[in-house]
Structure 1
Amino acid sequence: MASLPTPSSGLHDGTRVEALREALATRVVVADGAMGTMLQAHDPTLEDFQNLEGCNEILNVTRPDIVRSVHEEYFAVGVDCVETNTFGTNFAALSEYDITERNLELSEAGARIAREVADEFTAKTGQQRWVLGSMGPGTKLPTLGHAPYTVLRDAYQINAEGMIAGGADALLVETTQDLLQTKSAILGARRALEATGTNLPLICSVTVETTGTMLLGSEIGAALTALEPLGIDMIGLNCATGPAEM
């Protein structure tokens, strides 16, 4: 697998991020795969989840060894990037467990684990590795009135600020099904970047169903028109269908 020249371990974060931008613009960059099923394969206990069964992000603080091992397995087979275990550190998902106040803690912990493993593999293999801060869709669609847009946006800002503090190289708004929810995540991320004085790539992936539209009926052209002015670096598709349908 082709890779960029490896900088020294003392590389400034800004240089590492610019190397990611260059890689994204000039070659195929390979990221990891599933997180949840990999975590479940370790059979975490109810105690590991602090009695919040299914809240995978809790493992960032109770069982960082499990989360670390998942990142290690992906890096070991040569991926360039891993996503943080933060898919559910947003208002919608955390509110189901009544732990919205732990957003920053879990977001930063997830990014920090991934950062440490990425740096270890960069030093060990001579291949630059990166961390993508995962910002999942949650379970509430603001277009349908499930949650207020501003509440979602402000929680995404906290999520993003935590991952920036933990060392993420880019922010990935992913698996979005509702354009208003997508917008809340992107603008939350942009606010976090501005608040922290950070310039990281902002990537977005929308979910398109077999019908050819997002869950609430938006076509990909409509999604592009709505999202491009928000200041994203890349847009793509993920989940819902297989490669042929995409």
Structure 2
Amino acid sequence: MAGTVMKVMALMLSNFLVTSAVITTIKVYKVASSHNDPFPICTIRVVEIQGISRTSCAIKCLEEPLCRAFCVKGASCHINGGHLDGHWPGAAVDHPHYKKIFTYDYCYAILDDGDVTSHIVDTSSSTFHTQNLYPELVVNGFYCHIPQYHGPFHYCFMTGTSESLGYWRATLDSPQTISTINVWTRGDGYAKKLFHNVEITFGTSSDFNNPVFDSYPNAALFTGEMITFNATSPVTGRYLEVRDLSPSDALCFCNIQLLQ
């Protein structure tokens, strides 16, 4: 059948599915339309569309393998590589490093099938946080998937550089069954090991004394890397901990994704 075939299905007020002629489907959800400086840097390309709509812009997103979000501004469709997980509150007017704010007409982000990251309601850490690198930024910030610009760094989380065996913890609003956890690491070329010999635990114990979900004994690249943790079988729980098992290194990562 000639041309682009598309189907839009209302899931909730702001969510919908888009299917292209090449049988590629994405589920998208509406997110805040204001962003700080780095988000436009994550833009892959801008396309002018006559009679633009969320659907026509979503189809352009489907054409880009790295597209994680798209925004409309007037007749322009901004295809973006910035991952937003649903907690994104919009631009931080008091962000100490990213002062400039960009506002679009509206923005949508891709929701991967089985993604339950939005169920995270609270995060904490054992450490003192410098440079405003707070634990919640892993779930309410954004991460650029464009290889030449992994980050941004100041939306990442990091333990204190002098602390050994640090951790990052998350509590979910209800028990969820998870099979895979993706973690994106810092990508600004920092020379020290900041994601090395890490394990993740997950389960029902509120004191975070839960079984090991999976471990990563290696050292992640300094240029940004997605580390995938896979359980031997799906695990149901509410309490997640990312543990640093290396006594001489800090723990740093920029984004996390929980998949059923």
Q: Which has the larger radius of gyration?
A: 2
Whose strand proportion is higher, 1 or 2?
Answer: 2
Q: What TM-score results when the alignment is normalised by the length of structure 2?
A: 0.30
Whose helix proportion is higher, 1 or 2?
Answer: 1
Q: What TM-score results when the alignment is normalised by the length of structure 1?
A: 0.32
